[in-house]
Chain A
């Protein structure tokens, strides 16, 4: 069974630009969550999508947005990039509903210059 796939693996963007990251969950998994990981803040929850609906949201500004498609694939968008947005962005998929373990992808390393 294929794992969680995130693309691209690495990305370099300039301040003020926008970026879209993609996540394909494990086949059959309907829940996709996004996390930001930085050395100083650790893993911070961005949002979760289940059956194309945002079910939960973390404390990030509105520049961070996401969506989920009918095939459960998800995209995350960050607009007006800031230097502080440089981080490893991780996607996690869960089989269904809540209270199940999450499986992570390899992440997209975003560098904002």
Chain B
């Protein structure tokens, strides 16, 4: 079983819709959570970074963390065609030998239809 599970998609929604992207994880030591956006042939771009349960909002993006369920989500409001990309969740633990290693989900391909 992978430490981080993410539905690969593809996910296709109409422009203006609310998008929900999710990841589950098995390692309860994970305390730091990130979401990256990756366009084709580009490096991942950091969207959100959080280390606590609850919601964090930045513009049209909201990151949600539920540590009790080991479940994280990224919501995109008023989705735009320019949001079409692969979204990767990532997480790391605060201490121990693996503290510096970030574990990534496999990524969800998102397509916003005009």
Contacts and interface: CB of A to CB of B under 8 A. Distances in A.
A98 B88 contact: no
Interface residues of B, number: 28
Nearest to B42: A106
B32 interface: yes
Contacts of A92: 102
Interface of A (DSSP majority class): strand
Interface of B: 31-32, 34, 36, 41-46, 49, 51, 88, 90, 92, 94-95, 97-107
Interface of A: 4, 6, 31, 33, 35, 42-43, 45, 48, 50, 55-56, 58, 90, 92, 98-99, 101-107, 109
B99 to A, nearest CB: 4
**Contact residues of B: prevailing secondary structure:** loop
A58 B101 contact: yes
B44 A33 contact: no
B100 A31 contact: yes
Contact of A33 (B97, B100, B105, B106): B100
